[in-house]
Amino acid sequence: MTPDERFRDELRTWLLEHPPPGIVVAATSEEAQTLRHWQRTLHSGRWVGVQWPVEYGGRGASLTQVAIYNQELARVDAPPIPGRAGVSLVGPTLMAHGTEDQRVRWMPRILAADDLWCQLFSEPGAGSDLAGLSTRAERRAGVYVVTGQKVWSSYASFADWGIALVRTDGDVAPHKGISMLAIPMHAKGVDVRPLRQITGDAEFNEVFLDGVEVPVENLIGPENQGWLVAGTTLVNERGASFVWKEQVLLTVSLELLTQACARVGQLGDPLVRQRLARSWIDVEIFRLHNERTLARLMRGEEIGPESSLVKLFWTGASQRLHETAVALLGPAALLMPGSPGSPGSPGDDRGIDRGRWAHGLLSTRANSIMGGTTEIQRNVIGERLLGLPREPR
């Protein structure tokens, strides 16, 4: 057995003994607790932050092993861990720019789900144009006093800490006056208001910061260098690791859809088979994109602007698959557990796949926006891959 095969085998065996809870998102505090417990279970087997170096509690997993890790968790339909912002964004940022004190203080608690983190970057007036953010932090006697508003902050209502971009100098070019702070979410002046999404979940939040006092030792990286520090965070957010999991999720979804079509006797219809074949081609193209990305990373090459191509393709493929599901399975596929009078409520098997298709149809709309919108990805592809003229700024 190669080390990678051993890694897969060990994880597969472990997951058989520790099956994941059957929930998708932390929409309520009970679900958040269940997911926190799931992360603690994973951590007990050293299966959180596998890519982190061993000295910080990880396994120093290679890129291939990270791909295997995400594939195996997706294969058993494991929900995302609630501490994923901490593991995939905050940890790597601290390793690159934090002080040793900050690493010792925060990193073990991130893995153990003792502290959950959220990302406080976007603002009502600053999303794609993040450098235009206006939340202010004024330095006074050992603290930064932070005032402003953040939005679309996933999991902020359950978070203990927020990794925030704030303006510390308003007299220089926008990206030169930004700093990164770790904001305690339970501090005085932090007001988190959940936003209900089209799926009915309230994963997002508005976060109002009113004179919040943040100790200066919570500054991550040098003052006014937050834009550079955030580069590390965003590379990790938009990086390659999420695609392995998404690839398996799409494969699992397509298998479930094919089974559901078989159950309702539709597989004999050539038009149904044609639509399923189209989805299969989407999943295969996505897989091949990912194989190429992995090969390039293993040769030590940067993925660069090609990641925009993969993000764009994944967005379309995930949305098309759910549209196909709803078109083929009909109105029952639109039922979700908990809808008024819904036959899809928990324990009721008249809904199809526990509302998976309706939830997916609605939630995949967000894929065009998160991690860089479709229009921004097209700009990157046009300018940096096709060499088209830059848009006027």
Ligand X SMILES: Cc1cc2nc3c(=O)[nH]c(=O)nc-3n(C[C@H](O)[C@H](O)[C@H](O)COP(=O)(O)OP(=O)(O)OC[C@H]3O[C@@H](n4cnc5c(N)ncnc54)[C@H](O)[C@@H]3O)c2cc1C
Shortest distance (Å) from residue 127 CB to ligand X: 2
Amino acid residing at 342: S
Residue nearest to ligand X (CB): 127
E strand or H helix at 85: helix 84-85
Shortest distance (Å) from residue 19 CB to ligand X: 27
Residues contacting 55, CB < 8 A, separation 6+: none
For residue 138, list its beta bridge partners: 145
DSSP 248: H
Q: Are 173 and 243 in contact (CB under 8 A)?
A: no
Which CB, 51 or 153, lies closer to ligand X?
153
Chain contacts with ligand X (rule: CB under 6 A): 118-122, 127-128, 152-154, 366, 369-370, 373, 375-376, 379
223 is catalytic: no
Residues contacting 125, CB < 8 A, separation 6+: 132, 133, 134
Residue 6 CB: number of other CB atoms within 10 A?
11
Cα–Cα distance for residue pair 295/287, rounded to 1 Å: 12
CA distances from 9 to 65, 219, 298, 361 (A): 11, 41, 22, 33
Which CB, 155 or 244, lies closer to ligand X?
155
Which CB, 166 or 294, lies closer to ligand X?
166
Q: Record the tokens describing residue 71, joined without a space.
A: 């594939």
Of 223, 237, 246, 302, the catalytic one is 237
Which CB, 153 or 258, lies closer to ligand X?
153
Q: Which of 178, 298, 317 is nearest to 246 (CA)?
A: 317
Which CB, 102 or 233, lies closer to ligand X?
233
Shortest distance (Å) from residue 8 CB to ligand X: 29
Shortest distance (Å) from residue 314 CB to ligand X: 13
State residue 59 phi and psi, 5-degree precision.
-115, 5
Q: How far apart are the first and last CA of the chain?
A: 55
- Could you give the 3-state DSSP secondary structure of residue 280? helix
SS3 content of the chain, % helix, strand, coil (to 5): 50, 15, 35
Shortest distance (Å) from residue 202 CB to ligand X: 12
Shortest distance (Å) from residue 20 CB to ligand X: 21
Which CB, 122 or 319, lies closer to ligand X?
122
**Annotated active-site positions, please?**
237
